[in-house]
Amino acid sequence: MGFRLGLRGKSLVALLGTALLALVLAGALGWQAIDSIRTHLGDAFARNFTLLNRERILAPVSRELALSLRLAHSEVTRRWLLAENSQDMRTLAFTEAEGYRQDFRDHSYFLISALSNNYYFNDSKSPFSTAPRYTLNPATSNDGWFFGTMKDTHDFNINVDHDVALGLTKIWFNVIVKDGDKPIGLAGTGLDLSTFLKDFVGSGEKGVTAMVIDAKGAIQAHPDDKRIALNSAVRQAGYDKSLFGLLARPEDVARAQQAMAASVAKPQDATLFSAQLQGKPQRFAMSYIPELKWHVVTAVDMDAAQVIDSKLLLPIALAALLLFIAAILAFIYAVNRLLIVPLLQLEQSARAIANGNYAVALPPARLDEIGALTTAFGSMASKIQRHTEELESTVRQRTGELIVANQNMVAAHKKISDSIAYASLIQRAILPEQQLTQALGSSQFVLWQPRDVVGGDFYLYRPHPRGYLVGVIDCAGHGVPGAIMTMLATAAVDQAILEAGVQDPAALLTRLDDIVRSKLTRDQRDMIATNMDAGFAWVDRSTQIVTFAGAHIPLYYHDGEEVQVIAGNRRAIGDRHRGEFGNASIEATAETRFYLTTDGFLDQAGGDKGFGFGNARFADMIRQYARLPLAEQAQAFAATLAAYQGEHAQRDDITIISFQLD
C-alpha cells in the first residue's frame, strides 16, 4: 500500500508538471500554427503577386520587343543604313518607321547608323524629322551604351538609361540591325520609365515592394527610381543599384543568387526565399521572363502586409485550447496506468546490457502490457547475448582470413612487380643504345623516358656502308600493353628493313604499314589500338644528305641559324586509312642538328593552366640550346620538360633522338 501511495504522490507531481508542460506546449503550438498560417498565406500572396506582375510586364514588353525586332529586321531599314545618304531610301525607311511608331506604346522609335554614328529619333511630342538628332561620340561616356551594344554578341538588349541629348529616361529596346553577320546599326523604341513604374511596379499594397532586375541583379524597375541601374545592359551597375546591394547580409545575397538560378530553370513558377531587405525581414518571390532576361521580384514584409485576417485568430485559439485539454487527459490516463516505475526498471536493465552485463534483474511478471513488455525484453536480452558471442567468433575468423588474403595479395603483387621489372630489362636490351654510342659517339643523344616501368616507345639505329638509318616509333598504348606492341613493331620493322632497305624511308614506311596490316585482321585492328607513329631518317655520309619520311612524326632540324620542321604524313602506320608516304631531303652541314620526337614530349601537361608543351615551345627549346654539345642538350631538354611539368603527372612515353653529321 505504501508503494502505491508513493506512486500516487509521484503521479500527482507528474500530472501537475505535465499540465504545465502541456500548457506551454499548447501556447507554443498555437503561436507556431498562427505563424505557419501567416507564412503560408504570405508565400501564396508573394507567389501570386509575382506571377501576376510577370504577366502584366511580359505582354506589353514582349509586344514592344517584337515590334522592335520587326523594325530592325526590315529589309528597308537595312538597305537605308547601308546607303544612309540616299534620299529615296531615307524617305522609304522613315515612311515604314512611321507606321511602326503608331503601333509602339510610347509612339516613338529610333534608328542609329553604326557607319556614321548618326542618331535619328521621332515621337509624338516633337515634329517629325528625317535629320539626325545628334551624332554619337565613342569618346563620350553618355554614348558608351551604343558602342557597348554594338560589341555585344546578343541580337538585342533591354536597357534602362537617360538620354542626355533628348532629355528622356526610358526603358530602351535596342535591337541590332545586321547586314549578314555584320552589325550596321540599332533600331527600336522606348517605354517611358515613370509610366512603366506606375503601371507595372507600383503595387499600392502596404508592406509590398515590387521590382524588376536583370540577369546580373541590376535593378531595372523599383518604386524608388533612384535605385534603378541606368545603362546596366552594357556596363557594370553599381552594387548599391542591384538587388544584392539592398540585402543586409552575405547569406541573403547567396539565397538571392540561388533563387535567380532556380527561377531561370523554372520560368513559369515563382521561387521563394527569405532575406532582410534594407534591414527588415522579408519574404521574397522571384519569377523569370526568358524572353526579356528579366527577373520579377516581390518582397513582402510579413509584419506590415495584410496577409492574414484577424478573424482567423479565434478558431486558432480554440484549436489550441482543445489541444491543451486533450494533452492533459492523455497524461492523466498514462499516469493512472502506472507506467513510470516499470519503464524506469527496464531502462536500468537496458543500460546494464549496453555495458555488457547480461545478468540483469527484470521487473516481476505481470498479467498486463507491462508484463508482456518485460517478457519480450528478457527474450531480447538473451538473443543479444547469444548474437554478441557469435559475432565475436565470426570477427576473429574473418580477421584471420583477411590476414591470409592480404599475405597472398602481397606475394602476388611482388611477382607482378618482378615480372614487369624483368620485362623492362628485356625492353632496354633491344634498344640500340650501345650501338649508337659506339657508332656516333658525341654526335647523338637519346632521351627515353617511359611513363611506366615499360613503355610503348622505342628507337632504332641501323648502320650501312654508306651511312645509317635512325628512327623513333610510338606504339599505341603504354605500360605493359604498349611494351608488348613494341615487340610486334620491332619484328615488323626488321622485316620491312630486310625487304625495303634503309636508304628509302618512305618505301620503308610503306612496307612497314603493309606488314602491320597483314599481321592483324581488320576485326582485330578495330577491337584494339594497333596503330603506331614512326619517323625514319637515312643519313648518307658520302653526300651529306639526310632523307626523311614520317608517319605522324615530324623532323625538326637547326641549320645553324633557325629551326626548320618537315612534317610527316598525317596517317599513322596501321591507321584505318592507308597513308601515302614521301621522302624529303636536306643537305646537312656540320652545324646541322636533327631531332626526332614522339608526341609524349609535345603533349606533356604543365605550366599554370595545364596545357601541353606544344610544337612552338619545343621549337623554341631547340633554338635556345641548339649550339650546345648534344650531350648537354639532352640534359637541358630533360630539365626544361621537368620545370614545365611541375606537379603534373607524366601523360605518355617520351622518346627523343638527336644526331648530327659526325
DSSP string for 625-649: HTTS-HHHHHHHHHHHHHHHHTTSP
Q: Is the pLDDT of residue 507 over 70?
A: yes
> Which tens digit of pLDDT belongs to each residue from 103-120?
998 899 999 999 999 999
Q: What are 11-60's pLDDT values in tens digits? A: 566 666 776 776 677 666 666 766 676 677 778 887 888 888 788 888 88
- The residue with greater pLDDT, 189 or 292, is 189
Q: Which amino acid is at 400?
A: G
Could you write out the DSSP letters of every residue in 316-356?
A: HHHHHHHHHHHHHHHHHHHHHTT-HHHHHHHHHHHHHHHTT
Q: What is the pLDDT of residue 1?
A: 44
Taking alpha carbons only, the member of 52, 35, 45 closest to residue 307 is: 45
- Residue 311 DSSP class: G
- Is 256 exposed, middle or buried, given 0-12, 13-18 or 19+ CB atoms closer than 10 A? buried
pLDDT at 407 over 90: no
Provide the grid cell at 274.
527569405
Q: For the segment 615-627, what is each residue's pLDDT rounded down to a tens digit?
A: 999 999 999 999 9
User: Which of 293-307, 411-425, 471-485, 598-612 is most confident?
Assistant: 598-612
pLDDT for 3: 46
Across 58-77, average pLDDT: 89
pLDDT confidence tier of residue 503, bands split at 50, 70 and 90:
very high
Mean pLDDT of the chain: 84
Question: Predicted confidence band at 203 (pLDDT cuts at 50, 70, 90)?
Answer: low
**CATH number for domain 431-659, candidates 3.60.40.10, 3.40.50.170, 3.40.50.300, 3.20.20.20:** 3.60.40.10
Does the structure show a pLDDT above 90 at 473?
yes
Residues of the chain with pLDDT > 90, as a percent, come to 40
- In this predicted model, what pLDDT tens digit does every residue of 177-192 receive, in sequence order? 999 889 999 999 988 8
Give me the pLDDT at residue 2, please.
46
Which of 570-579, 624-633, 647-656 has the lowest average pLDDT?
A: 570-579
What element of type H or E holds 288? strand 280-289
Q: Which of 157-161, 376-380, 545-549 has the highest mean pLDDT?
A: 545-549
User: In angstroms, what CA-CA distances link 185 with 78, 91, 224, 581?
Assistant: 9, 18, 33, 53
Is the per-residue pLDDT at 528 higher than 60? Answer: no
pLDDT of residue 584: 96
Nine cell digits for residue 224: 524608388
Q: Which of 499, 512, 600 is nearest to 549 (CA)?
A: 512
